[in-house]
Structure 1
Amino acid sequence: MSAPVFVDPAAANAVPGALIDVRGSEARHAVTVQRREVGETVDIVDGHGTRARGVIEGAAGDLLQVRVGTVAHEADAPVTLVQALAKGGRDEQAVEAAVELGVTRVVPWAAARSIVQWRGPKADKGRAKWESLVVAASKQSRRAFVAPVDAVASTRDLCHSIGPAVAAGDTVLVLHEDATVPLTSLSFAGPATPEPARAVWLIVGPEGGIAAEELEQFQRAGATAVRLGPHVLRASSAGPAAMAALAAVRGTWDNPAGFAQGATGQADAPTGGELR
């Protein structure tokens, strides 16, 4: 069974045998909300791929003390989700599910047909809410990596970024119902390694779809239009569905341990299980 995950930057410098003190809201959530107790095995992650697994030695109030047993460094397959702002919380649903499926970067997009708009203080508030969703989804899915959330981008902003990304070797895909190329027909495998050779972007439109002029601009910038299947998905499900298809094509799910790069050591004390 996987261990519950808590996020604390101290995991970045953890070594087997050391004691990590998790304080503040994260500790209160573990101790008060989840009622974690001394002797339980937990994972402390730094949000950048480092996972320290250990046993709770102290749990009271806003302090959680964990004796580190093993430390591992993980690298998730790189995927950027460009999610158009959508009404009814469908964009938030998409981000939450996509993070659980492995997204490593999230870009909110103010598309031409987005009914919801982030302007002024609303932009900061919206981004902060997405960041909170990402952290919760990362912990729920036991990830050691917490995807950053960019500032809201316009179509022009994205076009300026797509060209350099493609030039650097990234694959930028636009999900569109009229596309003739199936996402599952593409190849992403890297040479003799479980990790893909290049990063992938998934651009997902709002409820009304991606405008024709936006699709044209993206393609001119170097993006490729792809389809998922014969049906039109909601803004809340298109991104997660694409993530699942991409993971299957890439072979991301072939290795049950993900893209773990190995443990750096193990203390003499038992940790309650190996890293997954």
Structure 2
Amino acid sequence: MSTLFLNPELEPAAAVVGARVGVRGDEARHAVTVNRIRPGETVSIGDGEGLVVTGAVVSAAPDELVIEVAEVRTEPWPSPELWLVQALAKGDRDELAVQAATELGVTGVVPWAADRSVSRWEGAKVAKGEARWRTITREASKQSLRGWLPQVAPLARTSDLVRLAGETRMLLLDPTAHTALTAIDPAGAARVHLVVGPEGGFAPAELERLSGAGAERVHLGAGILRTSTAGPAALAVLNARLGRW
């Protein structure tokens, strides 16, 4: 299986069979010194916006990795978009959710400061947390050979989600809901937001406000999943529902 590296400056005009393209800087250094990529191996290079080229490595140095393009593919922007609104959680549970969601094709992730979130991003922690999630989505995208890097939205408060519920289709993953996620057809929406609560679940006031704004409560079976598991599980259901799998 080939390995993906990212070059945001990759130009479509250069992405043709027979051309030589590469990566430099930290990306090249990581490829050569960590992944130990050598000439002759097959790797992919993408721009993070749908364009991916694949070919054999012709030179591998810590300052630049170059391939000769043998295949070009362009991934269309996903429709509908599937977004994960992930409540901040203690430990690395929210990060695990973001990593798995990226591997499963999420379009974007929204960090949410829920009422019952034990973890809190305040002050300098906000920028640090958002940067950490961008790193996670970047590395998970490379591992899963994704053409598009998921977007990481700014930290959201419940008031932000209330406003968002009036603009897109929002599904609250609530174990007490009467409607199963498998009964939902997401195909007619331009964007779907899956909202996952923290370890303690949604606060009653949050459910009331979000439901009142138009969000739909859905469940994932009779059990209760961890906050790190619920979002990826729901994405898998919708991917199958949309025929992407």
Indicate the TM-score class for this superposition, using the shorter chain for normalisation: over 0.9
Quote how far apart the aligned CAs of 1:234 are: 0.7
Structure 2 counterpart of 1:11: 10
Question: 2:41 matched to 1:50?
Answer: no
Question: 2:143 matched to 1:140?
Answer: yes
SS in 2 for 1:58: strand
Asked whether the 8 Å contact 2:85–2:111 carries over to 1, the reply is yes
Equivalent in 185, 188, 201 of residue 187 of structure 1? 185
Give percent identity, aligned residues only: 49
Asked whether the 8 Å contact 1:107–1:149 carries over to 2, the reply is yes
Structure 2 counterpart of 1:207: 199
Structure 1 counterpart of 2:62: 61
SS in 1 for 2:91: helix
Runs of 4 or more off by more than 6 Å in structure 1? none
SS in 1 for 2:210: helix
Structure 2 counterpart of 1:230: 222
Quote how far apart the aligned CAs of 1:68 are: 1.8
SS in 1 for 2:49: coil
Higher mean C-alpha displacement, 219-228 vs 83-92: 219-228
Question: 2:106 matched to 1:107?
Answer: no
User: Please, which runs of 5 or more residues in structure 2 have no aligned partner?
Assistant: none
**Alignment root-mean-square deviation, CA:** 1.4
Structure 1 counterpart of 2:240: 248
Quote how far apart the aligned CAs of 1:61 are: 1.4
Asked whether the 8 Å contact 1:27–1:63 carries over to 2, the reply is yes
Change (3 A) 1:187 1:123: same
SS in 1 for 2:10: helix
Quote how far apart the aligned CAs of 1:12 are: 4.0
Q: Distance in 1 between matches of 2:220 and 2:10?
A: 38
Deviations 1:93-126 (A, max 9, x none): 1111111111110100000000111111101111
User: Please, which runs of 5 or more residues in structure 1 have no aligned partner?
Assistant: 166-170, 191-196, 254-276
Residue type of the alignment partner of 1:39? G
Greater relative contact order (Cα < 8 A, sep 6+): 1
Q: TM-score with structure 2 length normalisation?
A: 0.94
Q: How many residue pairs get matched?
A: 241
